[in-house]
Structure 1
């Protein structure tokens, strides 16, 4: 179990750490290439949508052949996508490499795949805790990698910094060897008691699954809007670049504690994870309202990002553990992929609308207000989720 947690956590640390710093490239790339903020935002939005779409099919593949080969392919794609992001001469090529290729790479190197391994390898009594630990590792990646990426940009320029990150992404290939699953080493997947078709029908006709999808959409909208547009938002108010770098690093630092606590709460109260989820979404809206009402200073930014960081990815272990609790682990990567697709649609909207509404209005006000309203919506839709495990009839087996 220790090896799975360690290697899985390090994979998520790298994969999530790299992508959380993409907001630092918005101004250098758009200013150097003469592109609009919407052009950059659209590419990152496509990346999130690509991540979600590919995540569904990557999850199916990982459930069938195991995570090892998926991680190898994802690592190589990540490196190629970062190289393309550094060398793209046009917005179209930038959207294809930064958007489609890196999005596909993230699908094969992040939560859906790693949580599938955890679900199959770690007992249910420790599953929510283990998912919280892994999510905390992703948060540490943000805390560690965002300042590193800012330093790389300052020291080597934005293009060379991306090439260095491409080399770092290949480390995932090595870590994948620690996530080889015994049941898949013979080249065939373990025997399934449920077909993919039945698993999908079962999930999509379950109201709780749909409600979790709706909540996760909001999560994606909020975190990607803040993660990508916060540096530019602060720059517009005359703040130095280091304020945004420190703020995003604080998000990662405090999310280490937030995700770990969320995983523990999910383990301690297995039938009440929905209340924790509802509280997380509601608190995000409250914190955002307070941030917009008080005067904007460096300390208000740091307090806001620290508070938001505590809630940042806390939804991840709770949502995935709830899915595993309701539907079991046979198709966990696939079902997690579908839920994450909803998250990524929200991410697409948060990133793209941030750029679009900024170019239209000259500020981010409308997106902040929308984020607050969506947080209230997510707090409400998580309350009716039923966390009881499904009891299947023998005739449903395949």
Structure 2
């Protein structure tokens, strides 16, 4: 009972510092308009950036995939769980990203978290490997670097010059630079061209987590690589499939030798049951949309909503950092005020999450507004009006 009492003290401490996290139960499909515990709400908190999670073609493909392949895979990929649906998806993803990678091959994963752990533990297993990690990287990249047991050096946010200095001083045989492309709590972009140039000069891998860029960036939705026009054998690219693609899972695309190394060495790939093949089948429909005219139209609409949101806000006390992506943070500062504002929006039928430490630095609690191509201009107008009114109260 002393152990339980200790846990209860930790929970009380979180609550006193306005850091308790709470779940809400959604009763309807992922979409801007939800029913949450019986109450209709307009949500600005999903990563369903293109509005594909409930797209009829994707839903129909998921149903068809279940009819063809059943409900589950039954085993890991290296036993008997590697379905024809997984093969088709990986081949399609490799083709999709091939304009930016030499001899491209792709490997699918159940989650982006697992994919990042797999990349860094596979590449970083060499004796004397050194990982250069962006200061604001996602938790999965931080944990992957820890599991790799390589020496880790941090470089300041978006500071390519600082990274170059660290690489200049490194004597490691294997150098791995790892960064988000779109930073999930700030919405800004990493300076990928400068980072890649430094990696190519120093013979380093550039691991890019494009979780929030895949599907939304680039003329064809290929992500940050297309957005910046990058191509290099030094790139190891991770994209998630449960955000803009609307289904679930993730993939790594890189030179075929890198992918083969991961199949042989990456424990998060080897020792887990493969994702249901029906999901892979559904994702083929998502890729058709992302790379086609409808995907381009949805990306254009999303950009129009982003511009409308930023142009409409009239903030005086809170801060709206620069962001051209679907992630639009409003930095409030104190934890309790961020919670109060989030509750105020919720009372008006608007769901916007309040993000607090340790997800973001102390003193930078914020609202994380995420926009989707499934939102309307009227939806954004309603949110902007509510935010402008709440800041004045």
Relative to the length of structure 2, the TM-score reads 0.29
| Pair member with larger Rg | 2
Query: Which structure carries more strand by proportion?
Result: 2
Higher relative contact order (CA 8 A, sep 6+): 1
